[in-house]
Structure 1
Amino acid sequence: MFAEIGHFTVLLAFAMSIVQSIVPLIGAQRNWAGWMRLADTAALAQFLLIGFSFAALTYSFVVSDFSLAIVAANSHSAKPMLYKITGVWGNHEGSMLLWILILVFYGALVALFGRNLPSALKARVLSVQAMISMAFLAFLIFTSNPFLRIAVPPADGNDLNPLLQDPGLAFHPPFLYLGYVGLSMSFSFAVAALIEGRVDAAWARWVRPWTLLAWVTLTIGIALGSWWAYYELGWGGWWFWDPVENASFMPWLIAAALLHSAIVVEKRDALKSWTVLLAILAFSFSLIGTFIVRSGVITSVHAFANDPERGVFILAILTVAIGGALTLYAARAGQLRTTAVFGLVSRESGLVLNNLLLVVATAVVFFGTIWPLVAELTTGRKLSVGAPFFDAAFTPFMIVLVAILPLGAILPWKRAQVGKSLKNLRGAMALSIALGVLVWSLQTGGRMLAPFGLALAAWLVLGAAMDLLVRARFRDNPIRTTLRRLRNLPRSDWGKAVAHAGLGLTVFGIAAITAWEQEDIRVVDLNERFTVGAYDFELTKVIDQNGQNYSAQIGSVTAYKGSREVAQLRPEKRFYPVQQMPTTEAAIDIGLTRDLYVVLGDKQDDGGWTIRTYIKPFSNWIWIGSLVMALGGCLSLTDRRYRVAGAARPSARRVAEPAE
């Protein structure tokens, strides 16, 4: 009965989304205050209705109600409680309901905390947001109903994919969806502004916190997914350029470009047309990602569905949303004129170059992801675009971006002199180059990637620190005054510097693990020692052990450095009997400067065991840097200017004048 009520609340939310899509939009057009206020009530009602529906589905998983098809297909009575709950979104139908829950959650946030928004703009934003939820609620109801019953319920369920029974995957999808779906707010603000014919500095100030929140959560979600792939799949890699990984990476890149572009609109009243286009594209790539994951066009461990009917439905949503927004943009773009003028060398120009590099890099990823699908449709041949293409085509743009970032951040607005700005960065540049040369001289052979990567990483971190010092006018003030000025800098300035430094840490981690990683695969007898790099390893025993819903063979490996024991590692080979599926659980001794990574393979006929061993230098800096980037975004979000964004929007200033 609880499930039927959950289904009914989905239907009510669908009806509410139709009302919210139409009534406030008419009210904003005719300046009817009551009709515009309905948007707040409808947005909150949608969130409560979908929240109840999601709670009903979660309850069905918790109590193992196998009369629901989704529970029978994705749960089991012996499964740990954490994975019963995460099983709610470990499948297509449940994850789609989570997607919609987060979508209406953002709408509710605007209704609750958008008091400073002009009533007409707020009504239009919530109306556009409701159009998106209406489309996906229709998709859920007509193609992906999570509340379908089974006439004859099974005695037990089919269990969840064992690869998804992991804490990293418990939290990865919610964070990823908070980012994916959060970009819908940028889209709604852009479309609402185009309908209204008005884009100005206040609009940019409203868009930035929503985009920043989406970017932060998307950063965390991507980092969690990368960490899960690193330790769970047993391949030892952290990024595979999988189509679904790319589907989350492309919106992240465009959102980063949007954040930087919105700064120019807010500070200099320039790049308005470009910023609106980026806001549309950011969510468009989220929709493209949803199509890739749920249409069945790719086969991936991340993919949810392979039903062509669902794919066609999502494609229709994608076409209407993106096509409609771009058509409206084409009609209005000529009106988004600006009077701002800036020199070829200026912070505005630096941000434009930043945007171009990010957008071209996104285009490279998009082309590499979609080309095999296009080739198969047009020629019937199956093609594969793998890591070598992405590494060769994507990396140069990121190197240039990293190289210009510290200089672009320190340039003055409107007009600048490169020599004068570089004067503040000479120390950072010299130290970065010195660190790269030192690493090159210390490494015996090896690739230039590590020294070059360290130099770029140091350039980013030191450049971010110098940016703060320049803003505190450290050259003109004593240390105590400089420290006081640093403490009083806006949190958005601190957030920018921390995020840039986090990118530097990630760059160093990527360069170090790519250049210095050591791998060894061999057959090892019990109590036999073997050497990998500077470490010795010994497989002392392998035991059989049963978990709550699996059986496992667990190895015991002792790691030594010289005569000193440094780690006890317990790699596992698990077997899940319900799904008849084996998994590999790598054992990792985590360190700040290296990971010892051991994978237990199959037992050989002669009694030995296959062991794969990696020494992974500085690998954790990849995820430390990602979390530091997210922390920088959070610091910016706490800036008071974003909490009161647009409170004093000028009423007489119309940036988009009627077409002549």
Structure 2
Amino acid sequence: MIPELGHFALSIGLLLAIALAVVPMAGSYSSRPVWMAAGRPLALGIFVFVLIAFACLTTAFVQSDFTVNYVAHNSNSILPVYYKVTAVWGGHEGSILLWLLIQAGWAAAVALFGRQLPEELSARVLSVLGFVLIGFFLFILFTSNPFDRTLPFPPMEGSDLNPLLQDPGMIFHPPLLYMGYVGFSVAFAFAIAALLGGHLDAVWARWVRPWTAVAWGFLTLGIALGSWWAYYELGWGGWWFWDPVENASLMPWLVGTALLHSLAVTEKRGLFKSWTILLAIFAFSLSLLGTFLVRSGVITSVHAFATDPLRGSFILSFLAVVIGLSLLLFAIRAPAVSARSVFSFRSLETFLLGNNIILVLIMGMVLTGTLYPLLADAMNWGKISVGPPFFNLFFVPLTVLLCLLLGIGVRANWKDSRWDKLLTAWRLPFLASLIVALLWPLALGDYHWGAVFGIFIGVWVFASSIADIISKTRNASSFFAGLKRQRASYYGMHIAHIGLAVAVLGVVLTTVYSVEEDLRMGAGDSYQVAGYDFKFDGIRMAQGPNYRAFEGVLHVSKNGDSVAELYPQKRNYLSGGNTMTEAAIDTGLFRDIYVALGEPLDRSNPNGDWAMRLQYKAFVVWIWLGALLMALGGAIAVADKRYRKVKAARSVEVIGNVATA
């Protein structure tokens, strides 16, 4: 009965989504306030019914109701309860329901927190979100229903949740990632509403920026957590492999980053309006493209959910409709929202435009490398593999140029800047970056010119932000008084830039100074890696809630002092018989000690020699610390009080005219 209730709730949600797409939009064109006001209760109602459906599916998992086909394929009775809950989104059908829940949640958030919006704009934004919701309701009800039954012959026991997903990372990674993916639909809805109304000004950008920043922050956290999860769970010690599904999340993040900066220009100067609209369209379209790649079966990846061509065809058709209609509307209505102004090539606008172009170029490179093998296969050109050498060839120099422009542009002024002032502002950050870059490798004991260059780039971004903050407080009565003069969005920007600097340093240092050894070790053997002594004390058996494991015991020391005891595992899951490697990691601020247990070299004697991977990962944690700082910067920017001010319609018009002028 509970699964049927969930299915019924989804059906009601679809009807409400149709009403949300039609009624407020019709009201905005017929000037009927009641119809426009209907958007808010409809959006809230959709969220309630999708939440009911989600609760029903969760209940089925917790109760191990194997009469539900999706539960039978993704859970079993001995799975721990917390993994039964995360198994709700561990497969295709449940992950789409999670997506739909988050999509409905974003629409409800716009309805609740967008009351300061003009009624006409609010109605159109909610209607566009209603159209998006219709697409996902149809997708889940007709191709991916999580409530299908196994009756009349249900299995006595279910299959196991994929062992890769039996990890705490599964609790947080998909919801955070989807919050980012789906969040860009709000910016998309605002963009379409602006095109429909022919009105886009500085206040419009001020409304859109916090929604975009929140979505970008969630996506940043989702990508970072996914990278960290792959790092420690998959047993090979990497953090990014240019996997097609990894790329699918990176592409909307790149365009979303460009969108944030373009919105800043639109708000401050009333410029880049058409560019901002395009970026909003492409950010959400790339999120849909990521969904297609994961669920269509066109790629093989440890991250992919499904291999049903029907589902892939549906998403591809939906993507074509979204992109096609959006670009058609843009082609028709873009002149109504375009803006013209003059600014110097030394201005902040120029540097922001340059960074935007570079971000889009990086996205285009990632898109090409991801889709070209699929196109070649579809056109019978043969099997083509595009790997890290291709991506790194373009990604590294473009990222270097991006960081250089970021550090230069942060000191520029709007409209125009004087060369003498710019050169003075750049001098100290340049000298500080050069000195740190030359001295830091000496402290690490291995001088590497690649490290010198990478450190210079990272420190340049960091030093430029610090120098700009100091310059803004120079003429104040005190340092703290100067700090109080700046808006939260200003500090959010610089914290995000510092986060990028920390992440760049982490990538550079871990790439140059990490050490990896694959070797054979038996009980009592010792080996030294990067000055650390690893002593293998042998294998013991370990018992988990639904697995048994061979567990290695290693003592790590340095210069005779104990550093850590590590216990890598080779797990065998009882239900499906799958074997998984669980790495053991001792994490520090400046290095990780990473051990992965391979295979027994004599399968008849588990107490004999084993294949072992020992790694010293220099500064690798800085990558994720940098991502956390970037997300924190986005959150601080959203806290800026000017985004919470209610503006009357007349104020909107006046400010819009001033910004355009």
Other-structure match for 2:165: 164
**2:41 corresponds to 1:41:** yes
Shift of 1:441: 4.5
Q: Which amino acid aligns with 2:243?
A: D
Other-structure match for 2:291: 290
Say if 1:336 and 1:655, in contact at 8 Å, map to a contact too. Answer: no
Q: In the TM superposition, what are the counterparts of 1:541-560 in structure 2 within 5 Å?
A: 541-560=538-557
Cα displacement string for residues 470-528 of structure 1 (whole angstroms, at most 9, x for unaligned residues):
222x1x345xx232121342111110110000000000000001001101111112011
Say if 2:18 and 2:131, in contact at 8 Å, map to a contact too. Answer: yes
Q: Which amino acid aligns with 2:173?
A: H
Other-structure match for 1:154: 155
Q: Give the TM-score normalised by the residue count of structure 2.
A: 0.97
Q: In the TM superposition, what are the counterparts of 1:459-470 in structure 2 within 5 Å?
A: 459-470=460-471
Shift of 1:347: 0.6
Distance (Å, rounded) in 2 between the aligned partners of 1:646 and 1:317: 36
Shift of 1:204: 0.5
Shift of 1:327: 0.5
Distance (Å, rounded) in 1 between the aligned partners of 2:419 and 2:241: 39
Other-structure match for 2:575: 578
Distance (Å, rounded) in 1 between the aligned partners of 2:150 and 2:483: 63
Say if 2:202 and 2:656, in contact at 8 Å, map to a contact too. Answer: no
Change (3 A) 1:614 1:647: farther
Distance (Å, rounded) in 2 between the aligned partners of 1:652 and 1:431: 45
**2:563 corresponds to 1:562:** no
Other-structure match for 2:330: 329
Say if 1:589 and 1:595, in contact at 8 Å, map to a contact too. Answer: yes
Say if 1:202 and 1:645, in contact at 8 Å, map to a contact too. Answer: no
Shift of 1:464: 1.1
RMSD between superposed Cα atoms in Å: 1.5
Distance (Å, rounded) in 2 between the aligned partners of 1:646 and 1:319: 37
Secondary structure of the corresponding residue to residue 557 of structure 2: strand
Distance (Å, rounded) in 2 between the aligned partners of 1:651 and 1:496: 28
Shift of 1:417: 2.0
Secondary structure of the corresponding residue to residue 77 of structure 2: coil
Q: Give the TM-score normalised by the residue count of structure 1.
A: 0.97
**2:95 corresponds to 1:98:** no
Q: Which amino acid aligns with 1:102?
A: I
Other-structure match for 2:319: 318
Say if 1:17 and 1:42, in contact at 8 Å, map to a contact too. Answer: yes
Other-structure match for 1:255: 256
Other-structure match for 2:632: 631
Say if 1:205 and 1:646, in contact at 8 Å, map to a contact too. Answer: no
Change (3 A) 1:237 1:646: farther
Q: In the TM superposition, what are the counterparts of 1:199-218 in structure 2 within 5 Å?
A: 199-218=200-219
**2:615 corresponds to 1:618:** no
Say if 1:517 and 1:615, in contact at 8 Å, map to a contact too. Answer: yes
Q: In the TM superposition, what are the counterparts of 1:53-92 in structure 2 within 5 Å?
A: 53-92=53-92
Other-structure match for 2:266: 265
Cα displacement string for residues 139-178 of structure 1 (whole angstroms, at most 9, x for unaligned residues):
1100000000111111111010000100012210000000
Identity of aligned residues (%): 47
Shift of 1:23: 0.9
Cα displacement string for residues 110-157 of structure 1 (whole angstroms, at most 9, x for unaligned residues):
111111100000000000000000011001100000000111111111
Shift of 1:321: 0.7
Q: In the TM superposition, what are the counterparts of 1:372-411 in structure 2 within 5 Å?
A: 372-411=373-412
Q: In the TM superposition, what are the counterparts of 1:100-119 in structure 2 within 5 Å?
A: 100-119=100-119
Matched length = 652
Other-structure match for 1:597: 594
Say if 2:524 and 2:537, in contact at 8 Å, map to a contact too. Answer: yes
Distance (Å, rounded) in 2 between the aligned partners of 1:100 and 1:67: 23
Shift of 1:432: 0.6
Other-structure match for 2:281: 280
Other-structure match for 1:307: 308
Say if 2:476 and 2:482, in contact at 8 Å, map to a contact too. Answer: no
Say if 1:75 and 1:160, in contact at 8 Å, map to a contact too. Answer: yes
Say if 1:199 and 1:655, in contact at 8 Å, map to a contact too. Answer: no
Say if 1:337 and 1:655, in contact at 8 Å, map to a contact too. Answer: no
Shift of 1:406: 2.1
Other-structure match for 1:651: 653
Shift of 1:30: 1.2
Q: Which amino acid aligns with 1:308?
A: P
Q: Which amino acid aligns with 1:76?
A: N
Shift of 1:419: 3.2
Distance (Å, rounded) in 1 between the aligned partners of 2:81 and 2:422: 57
Shift of 1:610: 1.2
Other-structure match for 1:192: 193
Secondary structure of the corresponding residue to residue 89 of structure 2: coil
